[in-house]
Amino acid sequence: MKFIPKPKPAALDSGVSQGAELAVSIAVFFLIGFALDAWLNTTPAFMIGLTVFSVVGQFIKMYYSYSSAMRHLEEERSSLVRGDRP
């Protein structure tokens, strides 16, 4: 049973947009944590926690996108080796 939906194959030439998405999402979570810490007058626990959450989430997303793209390319390659035409 799979709980994670099958992601669409990622375009392999979209590295710049993926890098920008990574940087912006980390910055947004950092700023949300910073605002929560300032509002609640706490130590930088929210800032650190939300930043780590964002980094881990982005790397998990990148892993599944990469795995999906490689699976798609492997299926395409194996169909070409067998002589099947898509």
Q: Is 42 exposed, middle or buried (0-12, 13-18, 19+ CB in 10 A)?
A: exposed
Closest CA to 35 of 24, 50, 14, 15: 50
Question: pLDDT tier at 2 (50, 70, 90 boundaries)?
Answer: low
Question: What is each CA distance from 8 to 2, 44, 51, in whole angstroms?
Answer: 15, 36, 26
Give the pLDDT confidence of 3-17 residue by residue, as tens digits: 776 766 655 557 778
Q: What's residue 69's pLDDT?
A: 87
Task: With a cut of 70, say whether residue 86 has pLDDT above it.
Answer: no
Task: With a cut of 70, say whether residue 37 has pLDDT above it.
Answer: yes
Task: With a cut of 90, say whether residue 39 has pLDDT above it.
Answer: yes
